[in-house]
Structure 1
Amino acid sequence: MSARRLPWAVMAGILAAVAATQFAMGQPPICTCGYVKLWEGEVWSSGNSQHLTDWYTLSHLAHGFIFYAILRWLRPGWSLAWRAVAALLIEGAWEVMENTPLVINRYRDVTASLDYFGDSILNSFGDGVAMLAGFFLAARLPVAVSVALVIGMEGLAAWMIRDNLALNVLMLLWPIESVREWQMQGAPPSVRPPP
């Protein structure tokens, strides 16, 4: 295998390893509803985090922009492809960690994701591809455009689903009850906990 193709093979291997690990952890390959959708736009449905893309895909695109900036600073001598490998390793590690009982229960306990039970393997694959898309976009776009896109994606997600990457990190690490209550106001009545 040529040196140019090697990092791409490693990336494919990372995606396969993440899928195999999640399968061993008991995560479903696809939505347990039995069908596959390219897009699941209803964040409060049981299909959220189960199909190829959803509103949280924006967060994984943002991961790509952020990882590109960090790795360009930390590893300027690496080729773009090898920096992408490093970014996908980070993303893959998060995808596995996100689907552990510890993190799933943390989401259910302190965020508005009361019915979260982890991602399907297909959804995690889509998240990894979205991160790579953001990474390679960041490599081609001016910094100002990249920053504007990340801010725009965060704003769009906050407007549409009352959640985004920044809020997700905040609520996982330092949960704020008023933020959780605001997020739950966007839920249909059948989902909201009793007062």
Structure 2
Amino acid sequence: MKTRIGRHHLLSAAALVLATAAVLLLMGREPICTCGTIRLWHSAVNSAENSQHLADWYTLSHVVHGLIFFWVTRLALPRLSVGARLCVAVAVEAAWEIAENTPAMIDRYRDATIALGYTGDSVLNSVADIGWMLLGFLLASRMPAWGALAVALLLEGVALVAIRDNLSLNILMLITPSDAIRTWQAAAQ
């Protein structure tokens, strides 16, 4: 199996990212934060600027997506090259970024999770989230499974301690919301 990521894979991934940005713009998403600035990091979870800049606490979950996508595609699509699996991962992440920014999903986040004032991502943030997923994918491609698992657990733990939220809790709360978890999360805000 090829382990090299070819130029054509990178061009395909870039095309997917550009197409995602175009779809998000057509959906009416703001290109950048309505505050008019672009920040590398925004740490306030309950603010109008969350999910509007290049990175925030939820960036950690996108890195975890990449770690997971590498190993899932390796197991599910073993005949594909790493580059082809990278394109699959970008397509899945791009589809999530589009779905996450639909009115129905934004409302679901507001109703079911701690993200009470969530208004969706800026296009910049969505594109950056795909980039953070790529980072996780590339990290996982260069480490053993136990290393990727350790990094994923570390990132989940950091987010849990820092903001009482992470990818695992987000999934749980979207599927089966818990008032006890929401109350515990809100106590830290």
Equivalent of residue 89 in structure 1, options 88, 91, 95: 91
2:7 alignment partner AA:
R
Deviations for 1:98-152, whole angstroms, at most 9, x for unmatched residues?
0000000001111111100000000001100000000010010122111111001
Equivalent of residue 129 in structure 2, options 127, 130, 140: 127
Q: Which residue of 2 aligns with 1:50?
A: 52
Q: Which residue of 2 aligns with 1:100?
A: 102
Q: Which residue of 1 aligns with 2:120?
A: 118
Equivalent of residue 18 in structure 2, options 16, 19, 25: 16
Equivalent of residue 39 in structure 2, options 14, 37, 50: 37
- Partner SS state of residue 130, structure 1: helix
Which ranges of 4 or more aligned residues in structure 1 deviate by more than 3 Å?
none
Distance in 2 (alpha carbons) for counterparts of 1:15 and 1:26: 17
Distance in 2 (alpha carbons) for counterparts of 1:159 and 1:107: 21
- Partner SS state of residue 54, structure 1: coil
1:66 and 2:65 aligned? no
1:63 alignment partner AA:
H
Shift of 1:87: 0.3
Shift of 1:92: 0.3
Distance in 1 (alpha carbons) for counterparts of 2:6 and 2:181: 47
Distance in 1 (alpha carbons) for counterparts of 2:125 and 2:53: 5
Tell me the TM-score normalised to structure 2 length. Answer: 0.96
Shift of 1:5: 1.8
1:26 and 2:28 aligned? yes
2:74 alignment partner AA:
R
What are structure 1's unaligned runs of at least 5 residues? 188-195
Shift of 1:4: 3.0
Deviations for 1:69-120, whole angstroms, at most 9, x for unmatched residues?
1000011111111100000000000000000000000011111111000000
| Contact 2:47/2:117 (<8 A) preserved | no
Distance in 1 (alpha carbons) for counterparts of 2:7 and 2:155: 32
1:173 alignment partner AA:
I
Equivalent of residue 164 in structure 1, options 163, 166, 189: 166
CA RMSD, 1 decimal: 1.0
